[in-house]
Amino acid sequence: MAVQLEFLKSVPYFSDLSLAELESIRKLVFEKTADRAEMVLLEGESAANLYFVASGVVKVFKTSAEGKEQILSIVRPGESFNDVPIFDGGPNPASARAMGPLLLYGIKQQDMKAILRDHPQIALNVIKVLARRVRHLVSLVEDLSFKHVISRVAKILFEHIGGEMGRGPRLTQQEMAAMAGTAREVVGRSLKALEEEGAIKIDRHRIIITDKEALQKIIEVSS
């Protein structure tokens, strides 16, 4: 399948370019496919390519030495990932995995440098993309560093236990994130942490509080 000019035009990097300029860039773009759960990038490896998601979704994440995962971003069609190492020459700062069938458009590092040299006007777009990314990551750093998110998620669960007579209010992870003043990605990790602590058990659409006292202790940490 040929790389579509309309797609390149929709990518923030190239939005200001003429069709003739896009045509010259198209020649440097290659396709890469991946299946669900396939790793697209590995943290620490040398970076070779910049990627744009053409269809599907990519999860960009860090993994701790203990195997815990922290999602940094979810990359949707039209968005790019692996930008930073392409421009600073360092290794991949995070891993990336396909969340479903995935089609990527890639540009090799040296080709991207040539594109920037030949079309310097896109530098401003690149700065905008990178600035947006920094803003997102700064917000995530704040959540992970200063907020007792786990205890706040624990408190939210405690306050929303369903009554004996029937269902209590049901909460999505997005709603819990809004209540805790954090990102959905952080709530997902907090729920996993609470499960590992033995305070809750996640059973499909039910969060079962298995150890009320343990949950209360976690709540008290931040109060």
173 binds other proteins (CB under 8 A): yes
- Residue 120 to residue 104: CA distance in whole angstroms: 24
Q: Give the residue among 102, 18, 91, 2 at the shortest CA–CA distance from 52.
A: 102
Q: How far is CA 145 from the centre of its chain?
A: 18
| Identified binder of other proteins from the candidate list 28, 99, 144, 193, rule CB under 8 A | 99
Q: Give the residue among 68, 146, 58 at the shortest CA–CA distance from 102.
A: 58
114 binds other proteins (CB under 8 A): no
| Identified binder of other proteins from the candidate list 212, 220, 221, 222, rule CB under 8 A | 212
- Residue 216 to residue 206: CA distance in whole angstroms: 19
Burial (CB count <10 Å: 0-12, 13-18, 19+), residue 37: exposed
Q: Tell me whether residue 55 or residue 121 sits nearer to other proteins (CB atom).
A: 55
| Identified binder of other proteins from the candidate list 32, 62, 68, 76, rule CB under 8 A | 76
12 binds other proteins (CB under 8 A): no
Q: Tell me whether residue 3 or residue 178 sits nearer to other proteins (CB atom).
A: 178
74 binds other proteins (CB under 8 A): yes
| Identified binder of other proteins from the candidate list 57, 116, 130, 137, rule CB under 8 A | 57
Find out whether 198 and 211 touch, Cβ atoms under 8 Å: yes
204 binds other proteins (CB under 8 A): yes
- Across 92-147, the runs of DSSP E, i.e. the strands, are 95-98, 102-108
Q: Which stretch binds other proteins (CB under 8 A): 89-97, 104-112, 139-147, 207-215?
A: 207-215
Residue 30 β-bridge partners: 106
162 binds other proteins (CB under 8 A): yes
Question: 180-216 as b/e, with b when 16 or more CB fall inside 10 Å?
Answer: bebbebbbbbbbebbeeeebbeeeeeebebeeeebbe
178 binds other proteins (CB under 8 A): no
| Identified binder of other proteins from the candidate list 42, 131, 134, 161, rule CB under 8 A | 161
Task: State the residues that interact with other proteins by CB under 8 A.
Answer: 36, 55-57, 74, 76-77, 99-101, 157, 160-162, 167-168, 170-175, 184, 188, 201-202, 204-210, 212
